[in-house]
Amino acid sequence: MKTHEYLKRRFKEYYKENIEKIPLVSLFNQREFGFIPWDQQIRMIRHMGFAKKELFITHLINTGPRHVYSSATQYETPENQDMKKKGYKGCDFLIDIDVDHFYTPCKEDHDRWYCKNCGKHGNGMLEKCPDCKELKLKKVTWICKDCLDVAKQEIIKLIYDFLIPDFNVEIENIKVAFSGHRGYHLKIEDNNLRALSSDQRREIVNYITGEGISYEILGLRKKGDNIFGFSRDTIGWPQKIYREIEALLTKSNLEIETILSDKKVFNLSQHFIENLLNDKKIFRSIIQNSNKNNWTSVSSNLDMWYKFLEPIVAKIGIEADVPVSIDTHRLIRYPGSLHGKTGFKVQELLLDEIEFFNPLDEQNEKLDPIVFVSKLETIQKLEIIEQEVPATNIKGETFGPYKLGDKIDVPHHIAIFLLCKEVAKTI
């Protein structure tokens, strides 16, 4: 509790010192607000509305919440406790990309799991205990530049491979923010999209993730003994798949063989791989020329083509957290607020700021999510309360790894991070 009181005070100070820097979201007084306090007895305080930004900021300064959210939804009366009486007006289209929900290789280094049932533990990303199959694992998940880069690349792909070319979304209607922890979210503020139902939203998400893609509809078909591929001049998915196949075919034979032989990704026969390599030039000229779209020389086995295309589609598709996009009453983190699991700021980004944004070592002070860097370089004493704490690399310096009982001296911003992650306590 002492630690939570300490963090609450720091969060209040942050809001007091940054009144001007907290942005105003669009249609502010039509949004529902939600707060998770430091007091763990209370899950979430929601159904709140603010007529003016000043009232909202005053609330933040007075309460210093652990997490701060506002709805993607617009309501007539957002403060009404009864969802049916709020007067639903529409909902921004949300896409959440969070490395909590998909695999990245660096998790083998920095994420740990413990089975509460049988005591087994290990590294990486697991849903259930490999020994006793218990589903409720205790997890210690961490962040590093690698996984945050993966999430960032997904956002870039989403915007430039899908939203702009396929949906014609206006750039000024796209709002991107670093979540303050393990990902990014993207909000589209477009009145046509705001009117979509949950089912319609699901269709869009299926499109951008590649879920349930039909190769037949895209044009792949077997006619007699021949396989005909997608027609070249179509837009959308066929175009993206062609681009990916062409990129593969420009690699050396050795590289292609290594990629296609990886059984964790592709499940192809040696025969198919050999044919593709032998036929590489011809196949490339075939897919570049829409008139000759006969893929039979590589393989006349339609199943093998599906196996070839599936990992390609998976690579192109976006790792979006589907439930977020289809929920029309979703609350999302308020820009400029602090994330209670890290103490980092939720940082809004312009499209041209995304590419070079580096949340763990950002040079542009305005965009820097690590707000507790002290100019006085204060050092704080903490005690580690978690079995093992992975190394943390923030602002070019590495802290840890640590183990249970370690007494450590760390700079203020690292102290806040470790306390928020609940792996250390103040002493």
Residues that bind Zn ion (CB under 5 A): 106, 115, 117-118, 120, 129, 131-132, 134, 144, 146-147
Least Å distance between CB 98 and Zn ion?
A: 13
Choice between 147 and 163, CB closer to Zn ion: 147
Least Å distance between CB 118 and Zn ion?
A: 3
| Cα angle: 331, vertex 335, 337; to 5 degrees | 90
Choice between 72 and 99, CB closer to Zn ion: 99
Least Å distance between CB 321 and Zn ion?
A: 17
Least Å distance between CB 136 and Zn ion?
A: 10
Distance CA 319, CA 95 (A): 10
Least Å distance between CB 7 and Zn ion?
A: 24
Distance CA 35, CA 70 (A): 9
Dihedral of CA atoms 164, 166, 168, 169 in degrees, nearest 10, equals: -60
How many other C-beta atoms are found inside a 10 Å radius of the C-beta of residue 365? 8
Tokens coding 394? 């923030």
DSSP 280-330: HHHHHHHHH-TT--B-TTT---HHHHHHHHHHHHHHHS----HHHHH-TT-
Choice between 144 and 268, CB closer to Zn ion: 144
Choice between 150 and 196, CB closer to Zn ion: 150
Residue carrying structure tokens 């490395």? 99
Choice between 152 and 240, CB closer to Zn ion: 152
Residue carrying structure tokens 């050999």? 274
Instruction: Give alpha helix (H) positions in 321-411.
Output: 322-326, 351-354
Choice between 23 and 124, CB closer to Zn ion: 124
Choice between 75 and 402, CB closer to Zn ion: 402
Choice between 99 and 227, CB closer to Zn ion: 99
First to last CA, the chain: 12
Least Å distance between CB 401 and Zn ion?
A: 14
CA distances in angstroms from 165 to 95, 160, 168, 171, 423, listed in the order given? 17, 7, 6, 11, 44
Q: Are 113 and 100 in contact (CB under 8 A)?
A: no
Least Å distance between CB 147 and Zn ion?
A: 3
Least Å distance between CB 29 and Zn ion?
A: 39
Q: Residue 68 class from Cβ within 10 Å (0-12 exposed, 13-18 middle, 19+ buried)?
A: buried
